[in-house]
Structure 1
Amino acid sequence: MSHSAAGKEHERVGAVAASTGEPDEPATVTARRAYLRSVAEGQPLTGNELGRMCGRSSSWGRSQIRAAKAELAAADQSATAEQEHAEALAEHPPATRNAEDGNDSPQKAADAAAAAAADPTPTGTADPVRAEQRPGASLSAVIGLAAGVVMSVAANIAHSFLPPAGAPAGWHPPVGAVLAAAWWPVALFLAVEVLTRVRWQSGPWWATARYGGVTIVATVAAIVSYRHMAGLLIAYGEDPISAHIGPLAVDGLMVVAGLALLTIGARPTPKESAPAERR
């Protein structure tokens, strides 16, 4: 190296050292600052120059250069991350992002809608009809319906044993007639049980099917049972008025008990549950 080149290098190192040194600053900090400043000026110091500037060896200078480069890379990475975060905030403001997060899963929305359709009772909302029932209400309704069914079955079977006009001595009804006479009130009881215990789908068609079906069963059972019981009372010698109004007490009991079970077992619709939820 010529004397002029060596002189220029000496001057550059001295200038960098003079511009970066701080009082009582560790040599490592001074060296790294000096190197970073020389890089910014486009004339990075070598390990030999950095070591001489701080009165250390060349290997020490090279280790400080490596450390300064690592700090520079970490700073660049942090700056890049901050820039990306700022760009993301600019593209998606917090309010918009929160709204998107609430609707980011169509599958979750579909699952929630399906669950609401299957179970219209809002979560955490008690059914006011069930909550207001007195203890034993369901048991009373079941006992009332069962008593009406038993009474109706007994009357129907007894009526089937009444001999028709002109029947020979020792006449007995066919087994099929006895079973048919007992079937109508049993069918009504089973229809009410199915209607109250099955979790039905929502919708007008399902409502028409279940209530229409139980209405047909109830109508047939009421007419047949009424005729059988009235005929039985007349055959036993009751007066016509008592014979014709007496069966209404049994049918009325079965209607009231059946409706009570329907009320207790019915699930509230969303419109019925909304006021309770708002409270």
Structure 2
Amino acid sequence: MRFDLQLFGLPAPEYAPLAVRAEQLGFDTVWLADHVVTPAHYAPTYPYRESGDPGIRPSTPLADVTVTLGHLAARTTRIRLGTGVLILPLRDPFHVARAWASLQQLSAGRAVLGVGVGWMAEEFAALGADFGTRGARTDEMLRVLDLLWSGRPVTHQGRFFDFSTVHFGPAPEPAVPLVVGGHSRAALRRAARHGTGWFGPDVDLATSARLCGRIAELRDDFGRAGHDFTHHVRLSGEISVGAVEAYRDAGLDHLVVAPFTRLPPTVTRADRLAALDSVAERLAPLWPDPAPTGEPPGDHS
């Protein structure tokens, strides 16, 4: 079993101590969730809760995920650094390509770009981005990222991006793994066609297993069944050996945990660090041995 840690909504200085502790404990990847702004009012359309309320409030701290991961790269040596997920169509592909090529170099190959199309129409409106075309724009951005990261002079003519020959620079080494989030039909196809992995939402085990099965079918349709692919599946509900064994028995062996969601509003850094320790203690029979400090990460993407 491998275990990842998802973080969101913390004051910026809180991420590094948690990432350092997660690395010490043997977590495989730390994922930062992304929003750029929080509109004062937005419709309850969050797709992973029946209420449609994600729990995000104007008071929820937001941090730039790429800048924060760059900081974490300087504070850690082994743990992988990912976005779960970056709202790609709120950006342009050139700045994303440059930032993540730099992060890959500065982190010694530990960057994992997780992307999604977003769900909050009001956030898109605030940034002047078209919400209705976000899926098509994301698909084209993924093609542009591949071009820019190819290491060759490239040109592109598309629906949303059109540029004559540009020189981006050397290809990132190793290549930046691309993980796609979401559970819609379009998201699953995007993961199967473009991704080296899928970042699952907070849904029950049966739903996660069904979605992973559908991705496998789509990858076979696209002729990609033989390519390496990782399902980063959210551990839903309690964090216990029994719960993890149920996921393992379903063939899901790379789980993402979010241990802070049930902590009180007055939570401190010490409380969060204790919660991380508690995860490793509760799952000790299934917990991987932590890699020695300085050991380069394996190919887990």
Q: Do both share a fold (TM > 0.5)?
A: no
Instruction: Tell me which structure has the larger Cα radius of gyration.
Output: 1
What TM-score, normalized by structure 1, do the two folds share?
A: 0.19
Counting helix residues as a fraction of each chain, which structure ranks higher? 1
What TM-score, normalized by structure 2, do the two folds share?
A: 0.18
Counting strand residues as a fraction of each chain, which structure ranks higher? 2
